[in-house]
Amino acid sequence: MTADKKETVNVKGERKTVDVTVIDGKPIIVMGSFPRMAVVKDEICDNGVQDPEAIINELKKRRKADIFTFDQKIPDTEPKFNYYYEWDNFAVLEITSFDHWWNKQIGNDARRMVRKAEKQGVVVKVVPFTDELVAGIKSIYDETPIRQGKPFWYYKKEFNKIRDDNSSFLERSEFIGAYFRDELIGFEKIIYTGNRADPIWLLARVRDRDKAPTNALVSKSVEVCAKRGITYLTYGNYLYGKKREDSLAVFKKRNGFEKMDVPRYYAPITVTGAISLKMGLHKNLIQRLPSLFVDIVLRMRTKLYEQKWKDK
């Protein structure tokens, strides 16, 4: 175990400064105040918790967390630990070959969008991590202060901060850029973990949406993964909380991604943690509310944020 250090991390699109402690080789962060939730930092690109008891015992000694939560990694979907769990879901594309994906796993709509990008002159390629790429990424970040209906943390952030944050896991990462007339209009950062590839960024300029850069990026990522022999390409959660299928879920489905459920475990560390689990307080507000109400609230939130920035 190493001593605590403070880091700013991305949690569900929000940036928070937290203590990071390495336990049993895993960087552990504690989020929230009631209950305090311990989770593996950068869990999406971690290879999974193999010995949860070692982490739980250390957390009990430190008494800084009430619940330790962790998930199993795809395609390991059968529960194997004796802790309380709930089903989490991921958007997963199983890759055998690019041709199989192109001819069998996607429909005409997705193929048409990829062809549209080509006809529009979009060039998609694997690119090295350089200051030139970071400058292009910053231009995409700075296009709009609102993304997915809420303030975008990287909007107008300084160059060095963007470079540092995108340099994580470089030894097992790959960047794919979508270019129009030699200008970056979209990019994807993929982190490889065993036979799994996890894109932690897939972002394009809003004003170039008509050129279908995101479809082109997905197509290139499948090609790259197939050449590497990667079996599973993920795309975050298929659905988050109780939300019904939204436009992003539809985009994932059209591009061949399927919903895969895996167990997410919740192990109480303290009496507060045990009580919180029984009361359902380990879930966030979105997960606790009815899906129809969530849809209404999210639409209202989007309109409020858009109006706020429009008035500035």
Instruction: Give CA–CA dist 195/251, Å, rounded.
Output: 24
Task: Give the pLDDT confidence score for residue 228 in this predicted structure.
Answer: 96
Q: Which residue ranges make up each domain of the chain?
A: 5-88+262-311, 96-230
Average pLDDT over residues 71-90: 94
Average pLDDT over residues 132-150: 92
Strand partners, 22: 27
Degrees (nearest 5) of the Cα angle 140, 222, 110?
75
96-230 is a CATH 3.30.70.2190 domain: no
Task: Give the pLDDT confidence score for residue 118 in this predicted structure.
Answer: 97
The residues, any chain, with a CB within 8 Å of residue 297's CB and separated by 6 or more, are 289
Task: Give the pLDDT confidence score for residue 209 in this predicted structure.
Answer: 95
Task: Give the pLDDT confidence score for residue 290 in this predicted structure.
Answer: 66
Instruction: Give CA–CA dist 107/267, Å, rounded.
Output: 42
Q: Which amino acid is it at 45?
A: C
Residue 299 confidence (pLDDT) above 90: no
Instruction: Give CA–CA dist 218/209, Å, rounded.
Output: 14
**pTM for the full predicted model:** 0.87
Mean pLDDT of all residues belonging to the chain: 89
Average pLDDT over residues 168-175: 95
- Residue with structure tokens 């591009």? 255
- Residue with structure tokens 């962060």? 29
Dihedral angle sign, alpha carbons of residues 218, 222, 227, 231: positive
